[in-house]
Structures are given as C-alpha cells and as structure tokens.
Chains A and B, each alone.
Chain A
Amino acid sequence: MTAKPVPVPTPETQPFWDGCAAGELRIQRCADCGRPYFYPRPVCPACGSRNVAWFTASGRATLYSYVINHRPAPGFQDEAPYAIAVVQLEEGPRMMTSIVGLPATPEALVLDMPLRVSFERRGDVSLPVFGPDQ
C-alpha cells in the first residue's frame, strides 16, 4: 500500500519542521510591522521586510473551514471519509491540517470550535494536527 506523503523540508522551512519535532508550533513574525505569518518564507508578506523572526505559537486555533473527503488520497484508504481542514491560529495565520479526536461528520465538526495542536509522526518529520481544546 502506498504510504502517506511525507513533507521534505527546504532551508527556509526547516525551523518550522524542527519546531514540530520538538513539539512546538513555530511560525514567523515580522520584527518591523509585527505581523505573524505562515507559511515559512524569508520576507514579510505584509510589508516586505527581511527582518523576520521565529516564535512559538500558542497552539490554539479555531476551525475555519473543511471538507470531508470520500475519495481518499494514496495512503489514506483506511481513513476515508476524513476531514481536510483549515484552522485559524490564535495569532491569525491559517494552515491546512487534519482533525484528530473527533468523528469526520458535519455534526462533530462545527466551524469556529476551539482546537489545539498536537504532533503526529510521519516518516522523518512530525506533522502538526489539531484536536479538541479541552
């Protein structure tokens, strides 16, 4: 059976994946305009500054939107139907993720519900996933 995709870090994303391996959700913030952002890149998308720094996000988020996928990607056959979600971090940026600890049903997955990050081992990396914040 085909394995699930494993992300391959690049130089500018390595600190993010290092953070995940350490159990921390590390994202970037502009030291000039103060705006946090994701995905990792060496320039602030709000003001163009190169003066950006990594920090550890709280790991709290809310459910922004999702689908429940019935046609599984290779490696996900045993999990269908499964949710593919976008969460909004407490700090503002959004990221795609999986939802853990909740059934993949519209009844269980309510938009704006509070979520908290955890990390799932996938090959050589740890992947941030989100579950109920309790």
Chain B
Amino acid sequence: MTGVIIAGAAETDRVGRLPGHSTLQLHIEGALNAVADAGLSLRDIDGIATVASPGPVQVAHALGITPDWIDGTGVGGTSFLLHVRHAVAAIRAGYARTVLITHGESGRSRVGATGFRLAASSPPGQFEAPYGTFGPTTTFTIPVLRYMKEYGLTHEQLAYVAVAQRRWAAKNPRAAFRDPVTVEDVLASRMVAYPFHLLECCLVTDGGGALVIASADRAAEFGKPAVHILGTGESSEAPMISQMADFTESQAFRLAGRAAFAEAGIGPSDVDHLMVYDAFAHVPIYGLEALGFVGKGEAGAFIADGNTEPGGSLPLNTNGGGLSYTHTGMYGMFAITEGVRQLRGEAAAQAGDPQISVIVGNGGMFATSGVLILGRQPR
C-alpha cells in the first residue's frame, strides 16, 4: 500500500461528440466534477498534473489554482496513470496535500486542439513516416501479425475482443456503441489496416475527466468512499513501433505491472477487475499476458472463452473500453475512472463486488505504460 487514495474521480457530463466544448473546457468540466465528487472546493487544490497541451500551467490558471507542485509528464494516453504515481510520491514527500489530475481532449471535434505534425527530421519523421504511416491505425497495429504467427491467435479470436467488450458497453448508457455485435459483424466491417477491421479499432471522441489524490489519513474528509492506491508502476520501451524489442510482448506493460504488483504485495490471482487500455483489439491480449493473468499465447482463447465478459471470472474493460465506450486520444483517464466506479460499486455495468482493480495504461504505440493497483481496503 502507498497510504494515498483517490478521493475524487469524475468525467465530463457527457462524452462522445461535443463540438460545443474546447479542449480546455473539457479539462475544466472534468476538474469541477472531480473536485465536487471529493466534496472539496478548488481552493483545496495545491498540486496540478496534466498533459500539454493545454498543460498544467494553463489548466491551473484557468481554475484559479496556484500550485505548489506541478507535473506535466506527457507520455501519451497513459500519462494520467503516471501522474497518479508521481502524486503519491509528492504527497508522501509533503510537496502537495491535495493533487488534481485532469484530462480533456476534443479528439473528434478538434475544438481548441493542437495538431499532430511530425518533424521530418525527428527519428519517426526519418525512419517511419516516409513509408506511409498515418497515425496509430498504421503503426500500433503492426506487431499483431507476428504475434498471430508465433502463438496461433486467429482472426476470429482477435475479433472476439470487440464482441466481449460490446457486451459490457450494452449495459452502459454512456457508451458510444451499445448494439451487440458478432464475430461475423466485426470481420465484415471495413478493413482499416489488415488484419484490423473498423470494429477492432477504437473510437475517436471528445471528453474529459479528473482525479483528486490525497493522503489516506484524510479519507473521512471526502464525500465518497476512499479508493486506496495499493501499488503503481511505470516504464517505457521504444518511441517507434519498428524498434519494439519483441512484437509478441509489451516490455513496458510487463515492467510497470511487475513494479505495481511488488508494491501492492499481491499477484494476478488476487485481482477482481481489470482495465487494459484498448486502442486496438490486440492491446488487451498483450496486457493480459504481460501482467501474468494468463500464460504467453493464451489470452486470445481466454477472452474468446468468455472469461472477460459479463459473468466471466475476470471482468475486463467494463465500461466498454476504447472500442465501444469512448476514446478521446489519451484514454487512460477513463480506464482509471471506471476502476474507481467499480470499487465504489457505482459503475453502470457493475461487475459484482470487486475488492481489487488493476488499471493498465498505454502511451504511444506500446511506447510507455503506467499500471495502478487500486483497492477498496488499504490492505
């Protein structure tokens, strides 16, 4: 255990298509909802963390916060999990007392959003972009054919990841896609980047969310039951997909997960609920294996056998995930907020009575990872 808790967690009023909200507005709305969830006011916040742009200085200023502690770690969609880990350290060191972590992204409507220009002199500008890469659908996806050859994962098993998550999304009124789909539907959807069909790729939406982090000693001050941060980890691997060491496993997931489990003093069999950042259908497969929930090469069959869907032994991506719920671009915040809801027993698709939830974040194309182990009890 870390002695630090998530005291407040919330998302924007709506997620999806929000052309009336700028990126900054989404940060503000998420922040106000999370601070209210914690039963606090903005005046109580003395630490700020988020990703540029707009970044922590802009967000703090917009909210009238003068921070004593600032974290602008920006390593893709997992950044918010790293912010939680860094906030734990800051609170334990006495550098901050009440930290606000915000996410807002006009990923679909692109209101007040920055562009994605890649410098032609950067490493990916020299060694990847000339070959026609065009965002994550053309890069994050490349490892899976190697995995399929090495471990026998079938196209049907890959498609089933989307089927299983849609079963959770069907129970979540906020999810973008709620209609049931079959493996045949997934395989009949438009080809985006072989072997990935449209329904095996995440949504692109607008939305935001925020967290309030504080010492566990203060748990009684807040409006909601504490969610204890039991363990955390972070790691990075290759900044370009072509340089990932082994296309069949995520080193960053494995190392971040190992650190988090070691700190929490538990193992995979102790986990009741799991969120794995799912920008594409293969990412939960890599996550299940990297953290040791199943053996190498077993995750496709594990999901296809129903273990991760409603009624299964290991509820996974219970909000519907990036494939069916929402994906603003940096999805990690939504994986954390769902883990908090499940532990509080207030999720739309509540997966029983979980005591321990694990959140596996991804940044870039398997480039970075943060892992959080959250619990209802401090242990």
Q: List residues of chain A with CB under 8 Å of any chain B CB.
A: 4-10, 13, 39, 64-76, 79, 81-82, 84-86, 94-98, 106, 111-112, 122, 127
Contacts and interface: CB of A to CB of B under 8 A. Distances in A.
A74 to B, nearest CB: 8
Nearest to B129: A5
* Interface residues of chain B: helix, strand, loop or mixed (majority): mixed
Contact of B127 (A7, A66, A106): A7
A39 B127 contact: yes
Given A9-B126, A111-B149, A73 B193 contact: no
Contact of A64 (B126, B190, B240, B247): B247
Contacts of B132: 4, 69, 72-73, 75-76, 79, 82, 84, 98
Interface in B79-138: 119-121, 123, 125-134, 137-138
B243 A39 contact: yes
A126 B201 CA distance: 33
Interface of B: 119-121, 123, 125-134, 137-139, 141-146, 149, 190-196, 240-243, 247
A111 B130 contact: no
Nearest to B197: A70
B138 A67 contact: yes
A73 B128 CA distance: 12
Contacts of A72: 132, 134
A99 to B, nearest CB: 10
Contacts of B149: 111-112
Contacts of B144: 65
Given A8-B125, A70-B192, 12 more contacts: A5-B129, A8-B120, A8-B121, A65-B143, A65-B146, A66-B145, A67-B195, A68-B191, A68-B194, A86-B142, A96-B127, A98-B132
A4 B143 CA distance: 24
A68 B133 contact: no
Contacts of B133: 73, 84, 96
A65 B145 contact: yes
Pick the 9 closest A-B CB pairs, nearest first.
A73-B134, A68-B194, A65-B146, A96-B242, A7-B126, A8-B121, A67-B193, A8-B120, A76-B132
Contacts of B145: 65-67, 111
A112 B144 CA distance: 14
A5 B131 CA distance: 8
A57 B194 CA distance: 30
A88 to B, nearest CB: 10
Nearest to A129: B131
Contact of B138 (A39, A84, A106): A84
A95 B242 contact: yes
A66 B145 CA distance: 7
A81 B120 contact: no
Indicate the member of A13, A73, A112 with the most B CB atoms within 10 Å. A73
B321 to A, nearest CB: 21
A56 B133 CA distance: 26
A17 to B, nearest CB: 8
A108 to B, nearest CB: 12
Contacts of B141: 67
Contacts of B247: 64-65, 86
A119 B128 CA distance: 15
Nearest to B119: A8
B146 A111 contact: yes
Contacts of A71: 134, 137-138, 192-193
Contacts of A67: 138, 141-142, 145, 193-196
A31 B51 CA distance: 40
A6 B129 CA distance: 8
A100 B247 CA distance: 23
B222 to A, nearest CB: 45
Given A8-B120, A73-B133, A73-B134, A13 B126 contact: yes
Nearest to B143: A65
A98 B132 CA distance: 8
Contacts of B194: 67-68, 70, 81, 106
Nearest to B149: A111
A124 B133 CA distance: 20
B155 to A, nearest CB: 10
Contacts of A68: 191, 193-194
12 contacts: A5-B129, A7-B126, A65-B146, A67-B194, A69-B137, A71-B137, A76-B132, A76-B134, A81-B191, A85-B131, A86-B247, A111-B149
